Structure 1
Amino acid sequence: MFTLLHISDLHRSSHDPIENSSLLGALLADQDRYLIETPMVPKPDAAIVSGDIIQGVKLGTPDYANELARQYAVAYDFLCALAERFFDGDRSRIVIVPGNHDVCWNTARDAMTQLVPEDPPVAAHAELFRASSNLRWDWKTRTIFKISDPGSYQGRLDAYWQFVDRFYSGANLKYPIDRRRGYNLFELDGGRIVVAALESVHGNDCFCRQGAIERSVLGACSLAIRDLPQQPILRLAAWHHSFQGPPHGDDYMDIETVQEMVGNGFRLGFHGHQHQADAAAYSIHLPEELSMAISSTGSLCAGANELPRGTNREYNVVVIDDAYTSARIHVREMTQGNHFGRCGRGAFRVDGFSELHWLLPAGRAGAEPLDNRKFVDSIILRAEEGLYSGNAVEAVQLLESLGRDITGHARTLFIEAARVSSQTDKLIPLLSPPKSVGEFVELFGAFLLGGRLKDAEELLTGAAEFEVDGSILESLWVKLNFQKMMGKSK
């Protein structure tokens, strides 16, 4: 199983704030609880943060840039602490996307010019409510604005991107962050899962509240995944905006965007924005095999005035099964005393979770859907090709991504590749304990090369357990004693 922590809408309310330490403490205490629940919820392997990192600032706020920086500093400290506590400090395991609160309204407004009514009047209504239009309607003044400085307008997310660059600085990202293309890719579970982090704030600003992913972004993202050297088993998508809302609302995303995701092979989606958890499978007039499961989470930090009636602060824990064809969505709800626990509302009211299922898409050129066995086989084949073409370092990296699946031929290849690339230190955790006399000798050699003579001696002392031939054992003792005389112990 692979487990995701899904949090969203981290914006803090001035009237009902929650501090980083209180929030982190509540998350850790809740982890202690759900680890012993039935069904057991495993520790999260990675996290998705689906937008609204900060509260943002209102139009006309003096010194708004410093206020944005202050809010992002709070979010930075929280997510860094989250990475340390949940993911051993590995920030590459946290996927972040922007939300509408991350859009700087002041920057957007400064890039616009108010238009003077024309005579005769121009029928501009059709252009006023499209995210891709350069015209905006202000209901307050009942006037039209034009985005007259597109370059400055694009900078309305600069503070967000500065935060992102700082957060991922030094992180071991498989694919570098690119702020210009509308999506970023994150590899999880050793490459079995790829997450497309999508920006649903195209055209979103102080006058345009709707969510939108820029046209061509999903196509470009799908092509980028298709061109990866190793195809994932499961494609996930994360964005911010919901795709449904009340009749009077205008701050959600077009459902056709989800249809395009389905057609491009995405099978599980994550979003926030609506401040309320939900989980459902959407086929949207497409055949069943092209359905997509979508999970939304509530707000982790919003105050009471910003939450739907009867809803509290929430987050989700998503457990994906080993076949990558279903998931349990566990909703955790904050109650009295800032404690999280099982949600008892809506679809989650019985057990605190809901199950979603989907069918994996066909592989490239109509091949059968990729499963874990085929994924492992393809990794082993690539590693073998790398090893015997002189790239043992790449072979080690590929085989390391298999994690629990380094067995059989993969194990043999890993041993050889680590030896050839002088990375024998990586053999120690794999070969402890050894499964054969050959592995016993390899482990002994790794201990010697690493200067771990006490470990080498302890291994030889227990050689009888591994049925090591006497002549081999005598030879190893000679090598060990020589190293001791040379004083190369650590």
Structure 2
Amino acid sequence: RLDPFRDFFARFYKGVDGLFKVSANSDANIFLLDSERIAVAAFNSCDRNDCFSMQGAISKDELARCHLDLHDSGKTFALRIAVWHHNIEGPPHRSDYMDVDTVRSMIGKNFRLGLHGHQHKAQAEPQHIYLPDRETMAVVSAGSLCAGEKELPRGVNRQYNIIEIDDDYLAATVHIREMGIVNVFNPALLHSLGGVSYVKIQWGTPKTSVGSMAHPIVEMEQQLIQNAERMLMTGNPLAAIDLLTPMKESINGYARRLYVQAASEAKMWAEIIAVTAIPQSIEELAIRIEACNKSGKFDQAKIALDQFGAQLHAPAALVRDLKSKINAEQAMRS
């Protein structure tokens, strides 16, 4: 039944680089977004579904295998998102929806945002599981962008969602767009949302295997630092810089030290000058002066030494040595 879709899937992703685990024959494909901070698992919710059995279902084996793939990757994800087709509730005379216990299984595997369709209308709600502490997953339904009059519920127009995830990966804003006139979409002012076009959703922080509170962003940064250190120690400073670049705006501590050292080994003098505008250590001051010397910016080197040498309590012998290097480099250039 799914052969036409699988053929299309294979053609669509043929030649696409950077896919985590994607196969036309898989019922659980995994994609990575936001510099690998977000894992998106796309599930087939038509397991055992046919003309005699209309309800949605996701294979427990596929769900477990997806969880192991994410775990065994060694990566720390700030957010895990699950995507499937069927809604998780419906009216008494319908059976074409998915058992909500499947979503609870996803929560136990640290998924915190679920996206689905099928019911042709926008909806956002929290789902809870007690493990024994309450953990939360936000489930968002998208309206249909292309359904016709017969498929759309009464009073519902064509819709789509824009999901804006907060910087801490613990909440998001769902913006709902609805077609007002032909092919023109506007913010949907829905009565179910209090007459606004958006809704704020939140979810709980994942727990570790021993039940303590996980800190995925901190763990992810620590993992990046460890990988960058390994790249630098094995003689690949450019790879270390690539790994640390997402942290560049607020880089500090050991990560900053690695970044400056890697830039020095890669002879990225302009980058060093930009990052070390305010040196945080004597070592960083010395590297900044070297970068200024190599770039021919001797005035900046002298200003940095005069301004920050005393602030950082640089030894007098080191200050004399750095001044000599500035003067010698300047003399050679002239």
Q: The TM-score by the shorter chain falls in which range?
A: 0.7 to 0.9
CA contact (8 A) 1:192 1:234 kept: yes
Q: 2:233 is matched by which residue type in structure 1? A: Y
1:351 aligns with 2:199: no
The residue that corresponds to 1:263 in the other structure is: 108
Summarize the Cα distance change of 1:336–1:216 in structure 2 as closer, same or farther, 3 Å threshold. same
TM-score calculated relative to the size of structure 1 = 0.55
1:172 aligns with 2:12: no
Summarize the Cα distance change of 1:444–1:171 in structure 2 as closer, same or farther, 3 Å threshold. farther
How is 1:18-57 mapped onto 2 (pairs within 5 angstroms)?
none
2:255, 2:216 → 1: CA distance?
17
Identity within the alignment, %: 34
The residue that corresponds to 1:308 in the other structure is: 153
CA contact (8 A) 1:239 1:271 kept: yes
The residue that corresponds to 1:160 in the other structure is: 8
Q: 1:171 is matched by which residue type in structure 2? A: D
The residue that corresponds to 1:66 in the other structure is: none
The residue that corresponds to 1:214 in the other structure is: 59
2:178, 2:332 → 1: CA distance?
60
The residue that corresponds to 1:278 in the other structure is: 123
1:467 aligns with 2:313: no
- Secondary structure of 1:467's match? helix
- Secondary structure of 1:172's match? coil
The residue that corresponds to 2:41 in the other structure is: 196
Higher RCO by CA contacts (8 Å cutoff, separation 6 or greater): 1
1:432 aligns with 2:269: no
Gaps of 5+ in 1: 1-107, 109-153, 446-455, 482-490
CA contact (8 A) 2:77 2:216 kept: no
- Secondary structure of 1:294's match? strand
Q: 1:321 is matched by which residue type in structure 2? A: D
Q: 1:324 Cα deviation (Å)?
A: 2.3
The residue that corresponds to 1:413 in the other structure is: 258
Cα RMSD of the aligned pairs, angstroms, is 3.3
The residue that corresponds to 1:342 in the other structure is: 187
Q: 1:441 Cα deviation (Å)?
A: 4.2
- Secondary structure of 1:363's match? coil
Summarize the Cα distance change of 1:176–1:216 in structure 2 as closer, same or farther, 3 Å threshold. closer
Summarize the Cα distance change of 1:465–1:359 in structure 2 as closer, same or farther, 3 Å threshold. farther
Q: Deviations over 1:312-350 (max 9, x none)?
A: 222222222233222222212221253333221133243
- Secondary structure of 1:247's match? coil
2:143, 2:186 → 1: CA distance?
14
The residue that corresponds to 2:171 in the other structure is: 326
Q: Deviations over 1:213-232 (max 9, x none)?
A: 22311111111222222221
Q: Deviations over 1:368-421 (max 9, x none)?
A: 31143343233213322443355545533432343544334213212333454x
1:380, 1:259 → 2: CA distance?
34
TM-score calculated relative to the size of structure 2 = 0.77
The residue that corresponds to 1:382 in the other structure is: 227
2:156, 2:46 → 1: CA distance?
25
- Secondary structure of 2:90's match? coil
Q: Deviations over 1:424-459 (max 9, x none)?
A: 56x7567536424534644775xxxxxxxxxx57xx
